[in-house]
Amino acid sequence: MIIVDPLGKIKLYRGKDFISEEFEIKDGLDEYIITNDMDTSCMNPSNDVFSTPHSNSYVDLNGDCMPDIFVQKQKKISGAFERYVNYYEIYVQKLFNNKQMYCLQQTNSILT
């Protein structure tokens, strides 16, 4: 499960084993993300924050029976008036160097 703590930091709650009766808390998602430098088919994630309120889900979006990630984020737009634009990122799970990791495949604005 992905959460944002009260200080705005991204945390990952992950099962310690296949039974998942115990969980560990990891800071950030960097060790699970494939960057464009590692695989040119992946985009680099933005440093924008999760939207508030936000949504994220694990669902198979590409039909490979592996959980992909849908994340709702927001970008701060400065100008005469400060505003935020909501958008989403879709990460697909891939095997990379014998480890299951996530590749950013799509990002787009959310119509409001």
In sequence order, the 6+-apart residues with CB closer than 8 A to the CB of 1 are 12, 13
pLDDT tens, residue by residue, 16-36 = 776 767 877 777 777 888 999
What is the total count of domains within the chain? 1
Among 25, 44, 5, 18, smallest CA distance to 100 is for 18
pLDDT tens, residue by residue, 26-75 = 777 778 889 999 999 999 988 887 777 776 778 898 999 988 988 888 88
Please give the structure tokens belonging to residue 6. Answer: 């009260």
Q: Which residue segment(s) compose the domain that 38 sits in? A: 31-109
**Domain assignment of residue 105, yes or no:** yes
**Domain assignment of residue 102, yes or no:** yes
Q: Output the DSSP codes for 6-64.
A: TTS-EEEEEESSSS-SSEEEEE-SGGGEEPTTT-TTSBPPP-PEEPSS--EEEE-SSSS
